Structure 1
Amino acid sequence: MKPHSLHPWNVTPTEAREIQERFRNHVLQKNVARLRHIRHVAGVDVSIKNNRVIAAIVVLDFSSLEIIASSIHRQPVRFPYVPGLLTFRECPALLPAYEKIRVEPDLVLVDGQGIAHPRRFGLAAHLGVLLGKPTIGCAKSRLIGVYEEPHEEAGCYTDLFDGEELIGAVLRTRTNVKPLFISVGHKIELPTALDLVLNCCRGYRLPEPTRLAHQSAGGLLPSPRARYET
């Protein structure tokens, strides 16, 4: 599966911000027909160790949340750490990992921001545009925005605002555990994104797709049924 090629990755931080501004309007905050018939959902996560990027993609059956495919790609870090520009460190490794996957996902959950980003074009939004897929940002921490703490019960959420603009939601996925910061990535609406994230939760803070991708990126994914491609 070949992602779209929209721009070069060997750029400066200034050029990277210009790319985000240029393509932010490509994000579609509307549900697409594919979301009515989800068969496969993917989780995406990245770890960086010893100046190397380890990008992991895990594809699950949407109804059972069992792993049916996974892929890992490793390469040297080629972009400096700059808040708001993590996509340019991570996406060049994620795209080759995605090309190895032989099971096409209908939905992608990303450990990162969607439009809850200073230029409304975080990793989940950027990756969604490149893949042409519905994506959801499922970040473990806030990048921007203000919110009220949601109630402690799982399933409770509050809105995340940047000024008067709604940019996401703060969702409690497990009772008495820190919430996640959910935002639209591409081709989806926020209420649908919240419902789908909760549907993918199985008693952990992280939804299964990103939880398993996190394990995979850390070399800790114990699943004999998964197909590994490195």
Structure 2
Amino acid sequence: MQIQIPESWPKTAAEAIALQKALAPEVITQDQLPDPIRLVAGVDAGYEEAGQTTRAAVVVLSFPDLAPVDEALVRCPTTFPYVPGLLSFREVPAVLEALAQLKTEPDIILCDGQGIAHPRRLGIASHLGVICDRPTIGVAKSRLIGTHAELPPEKGAWVPLMDKGDRIGAVLRSRTNTRPLYISTGHKISLETALDLVLRCTPKYRLPETTRYSDRLASSGTRQSALQQVQQGDLFNQK
């Protein structure tokens, strides 16, 4: 996959915040998707050596059957500290290196993190989408900002996530009576389409298959293919 990796990255929190504010207006919150969607990808990152090394994984799945077709795992020096709201500057450099190793180009990328559900409307999914000029969705396991009404317990139920009068995302019940997911536009996709795609990528468990595959690869730190995981039955025995 062809990726134009930035030549330099911010070194301080002030520089990073300034860049977020500059890039946020470039985020597109309407659908600009290929038709049909054939490939979806999940990206995730983990750390080694007490955080000194970032381990980024990307797994590409066919859509809508969600079978793994490509993957990449890279390790890069961690160059930015952990600062709430600035996660993308810590993880995106390694994620871009992983995406560049793919032999197939996904139509859309689901990120384990926020899209515009972010104080400056540029979480990791939006930042990655703008850099790659590709549709992205933020699929977060916890809330960063915003308020919402009570969520019904049934799978597929969702309520708007609001901040300062803006609808910044949705709180989605991806599986009945489980903790919700926090879905937001990353880039080039509407919230309604993002919710539909996330649910179609989540046939059985709480997390979409894109997240489950990429998280497993990033967390294990081994170059075991997603296909091998399926054959061994390891991945699908985890809830």
Task: Give the equivalent residue in structure 1 for 2:14.
Answer: 14
* Overall identity of the aligned pairs, in %: 48
CA contact (8 A) 1:75 1:93 kept: yes
Query: Cα deviations across residues 196-218 of structure 1 (Å, max 9, x unaligned)?
Result: 00000021111001111101101
Equivalent residue number for residue 131 of structure 1: 132
For structure 2, the 5+ residue unaligned runs are 231-239
Match of 1:23 in 2: 23
What are the ranges of 5 or more consecutive residues in structure 1 without an aligned counterpart? none
Which stretches of structure 1, 4 residues or longer, exceed 3 Å deviation after superposition?
4-7
The SS at the match of 1:58 is: strand
Tell me the distance in 1 between the aligned counterparts of 2:212 and 2:229: 17
Q: How has the CA–CA distance of structure 1 residues 7 and 114 changed in structure 2, closer, same or farther, with 3 Å as cutoff?
A: farther
Write out aligned runs for 1:173-184 (5 A). Answer: 173-184=174-185
Rounded to whole Å, the distance in 2 between the matches of 1:58 and 1:217 is: 10
Q: Deviations over 1:82-136 (max 9, x none)?
A: 0000101101100110000011100110000000000000000000011111100
Letter aligned with residue 223 of structure 1: L
Structure 1 match to 2:227: 223
| TM-score under structure 2 length normalisation | 0.90
Is 1:72 aligned with 2:91? no
Q: Is the 8 A contact 2:33 2:135 kept in 1?
A: no
Q: Does 1:106 align with 2:110?
A: no
Instruction: Report the AA paired with residue 90 of structure 2.
Output: R
User: Are the equivalent residues in 1 in contact too, given 2:10–2:16 (CA < 8 A)?
Assistant: no
- For residue 8 of structure 1, what is the amino acid of its counterpart? S
- Report the AA paired with residue 39 of structure 2: H
Structure 2 distance, partners of 1:2, 1:144, is 33
What SS class does the counterpart of residue 174 from structure 1 fall into? coil
CA RMSD of aligned residues (A): 1.6
For CA contacts below 8 A with separation 6 or more, give which structure has more relative contact order: 1
**TM-score for both structures, normalised by structure 1:** 0.94
Aligned partner of 1:49 in structure 2 is 48
